[in-house]
Structure 1
Amino acid sequence: MPPGSAAQLKWDGYRALAGRWADGSVATRSRRGSDLREAFPEITEAVRQLRGNTALDCELVLWEGSRLAFERLQQRMRRPGAAAARAAAEFPAHLVTFDVLRHAGQDLTRRPFAERQTALETLFLEGGLTAPWTLCPEHD
């Protein structure tokens, strides 16, 4: 890896945008724009932990024992309503967070990566984000 560069691990899950808007509403969408809220109610509740007008680039993953279980994640996509709540209790999903795109209404997408990474780490520390939130490890 070239000096001064950084890398993040690729996880076996669904890339997602998770955000809480200024009016208090929350969104969790796949990279293709699918609404993930109904299939993952535990993630919807976790997104409510964010301060208003904040958006994060994440990956939705599911652990089964000591391994990532993409097939369980796929099964969860087809379980709305009460079935989704039961599945969340049995196989809860987690959000591995890569980047902060918007914080407190401020667009950070044009800021340098190092600055966004610091903002993301601060958000975890000061915002009290806990499981199912996870900060993606960075390697440099």
Structure 2
Amino acid sequence: MAESKGALIAKSVQKHAGRAKEKFLQNLGKVDKTADDIFDEHLQNFTKQQNAANRLQKEFNNYIRCVRGVQQASKSLMDALNEIYESQWTGHDMLYVQSQNLDILWQDFAHKLGDGVLVPLNTYQSQFPEMRVCIIYNER
């Protein structure tokens, strides 16, 4: 029993020493690094996916900024129309109500975009740093 324990320990030490020697020589450039094609392919796909998600988030943030800009422009236009439209004219009250409804619709649209797309996209992107740590750990 003692011999088998000793043999297991010796085998384990030899394996670790061999791996340490290989890593040392790789760092010196004396030995080629072992290439894992499947790992490299997955890493490439991961990087592509992360870049696509980053671009999507950037473009979507720009889109939301533009929606908010249109919301402000619409509000300014309706305010100008309310100022111009005299109270004696027919439909003055309807114009005010319609401008309020339009403002509410723009706010709702911007809020739904944020909740429906931006929050899930941010959640999706929050996974990338954790996976990047695992990749760095496993990279050869």
Q: What TM-score do the two structures reach when normalised by structure 2? A: 0.21
Q: Which has the higher strand share?
A: 1
The structure whose Rg is larger is 2
Q: Which has the higher helix share?
A: 2
